[in-house]
Structure formats: C-alpha cells, structure tokens
Amino acid sequence: MNLGERLFELRKAKNLTQDDVAEKLNVTRQTVSKWETNQSTPDFDKIVPLCELYEISPNELLTGEKQEQETVDNENSDEFNWNEAKKHLFTRGKDDEDNYENMTKNQIKRKSAEVVSSSILIFFIAIAFAGVGTTVWMWNPVVVGCIFLILIGWGVTRIVKHYMSVPKFEKTKEEEKQDKIVKQINDIIGGIGVALYFIVSFITMAWHITWVIFIIIGMVEQVVKLIFMLKEDDENEE
C-alpha cells in the first residue's frame, strides 16, 4: 500500500471527508485529494498534524509499519526513519506554490485582476518610455525600440501564461451574460480602434508609429475585462 492509499484508508477509518481534513490541516480539498491519489505528497510541516489527526506514528504513516508499544523499547519507539521520510516527501508536488488548481474561483479572479492590471502598467511604461526615450533623452531609436518590444513582450507573456494556467470552471448564467457583454463592448472598441488607426495614419503618414494604437486598443479591452471582473467579485462578496 502506497502513501496515498494509506492516507485514504486512514481518513475513511476516521469517517472524515476530504473537506474535514483540509479544514483541520489548513489546506485545500484539492491538496488532500492529490495526496490520496499520489499526485503530490504532504510537506514536512503537515506530517505531525496528519499523525495527530489519524492517531498514528510518523513511521506508520510513511511506511505502513505499525509499532507495538509492548515489544518496542522507549528508545526505538521514538525513533523516526528520516531516510524513509525523505524518500516519500522529496517527491512532493507544488501544493505550496502558486498552484491555480488549488485556488477557488474568486481567488483566481483576484489573481487575474492582479496579472492584468500589472501588465497594463507595463504597457503604459513601455509607451511612455518609447516617447521619452526618442524625444527627450534622444536615445538611439533602435535601442528604444528593442526595450519597448521587450517590455510589451513581458506584459503579453504574463497575461498569456496566466490564462493558459487557469483551470476551466463551469460558468453560471450570470457569468455567461457578462462575457457576452464584455465581448460586445470589446468588439466595438476594436472596430473604433481600427478606424482610428487608419484615420490617424493617413493624416500623419506616420505608419511606423501609429501601430502603437493597436497596443492601446488591447490595453483598453483588458481594462474593460478587469472592470467587469472586479465588479462581479464585489457582488459575490456582498
């Protein structure tokens, strides 16, 4: 019997649910589930609480070997097999990291707001730098352009990585309605932005600069999503 199976059997023997164990150990239910399915293993600081919860010794938890108190002397009864523990525990997963699978829907929304808002700030900094770098500091346009693209790439990468990591939740009717509204607003913003791009470009003939309008359009669309996201979060808390 492996560690996950032992944790499952011990929980069942105590007639506890995964939610019960998660609450007592201050972890998420998904974390307990991963322990019991061997997708990850408990951290060192969770071993003692688990042993206390299931009323067993660390050796019994990690190796499955029960110690009979009548046949084991005091020295051996307190002995802890650290080598065996390391073999089990150094295969741990990412339970204590920023694991999206362990987050609730509201926690993910807050994380999304954090990623989007900070990325938008990076975009603003990139645009401001491009303007100041070429007109005020008189830097080489190639250098300014490279730094500008690096900043934009950084912001875009953060957003893409975040949304690729977010697990899919079943959306409520209210969330589906909100998504449709956001899409309609962003479609309008996109159409206006494209029209503005061509108008400004033909008037100024600065085609090498006016493409920045598309970045601004992307920022505005993200701001719209952020506003609706925060609005929904506030309504859920109420």
Which residue bears the tokens 């920023």? 98
pLDDT at 78 over 70: no
Task: Tell me which of 208 and 36 has the higher pLDDT.
Answer: 36
Say what the pLDDT of residue 95 is: 42
**pTM metric for this prediction:** 0.51
Q: Flag whether pLDDT at 40 surpasses 80.
A: yes
pLDDT at position 27, please? 83
Residue 191, pLDDT above cutoff 80: yes
pLDDT given at position 90: 46
Between helix 18-25 and helix 29-36 the angle, nearest 10°, is: 110
pLDDT digits (tens, 9 = 90+) for 160-182: 888 888 777 677 788 788 889 98
Q: Give me the chain's average pLDDT, please.
A: 79
Band of the pLDDT at 157, cuts 50, 70, 90? very high
Q: Spell 37-61 as b/e; 16+ CB within 10 A means b.
A: eeebbbeeebbeebbebbebbbbbb
Question: According to CATH, where is 1.10.260.40 located in the chain?
Answer: 3-89
d(CA 28, CA 22): 5
How far is residue 99's CA from residue 116's CA, in Å, rounded to a whole number?
Answer: 18
Instruction: Specify whether the CB–CB gap between 36 and 8 falls below 8 A.
Output: yes
Asked if pLDDT for residue 81 goes beyond 70, the answer is no
d(CA 99, CA 101): 5
Look at residue 72 and tell me whether its pLDDT is greater than 90. no
Q: Is the pLDDT of residue 222 over 90?
A: no
Percent of the chain with pLDDT over 70: 80
d(CA 21, CA 4): 14
Highest mean pLDDT range out of 31-35, 58-62, 194-198, 227-231? 194-198
Q: Please check the confidence at residue 58 and state whether its pLDDT lies above 50.
A: yes
For 114-155, the pLDDT digits (tens) are 888 898 899 889 989 988 988 899 899 889 989 999 999 999
Q: Which two tokens stand for residue 78?
A: 């307190």
What CATH topology corresponds to 3-89? 434 Repressor (Amino-terminal Domain) (1.10.260)
- pLDDT at residue 164, rounded to an integer: 86
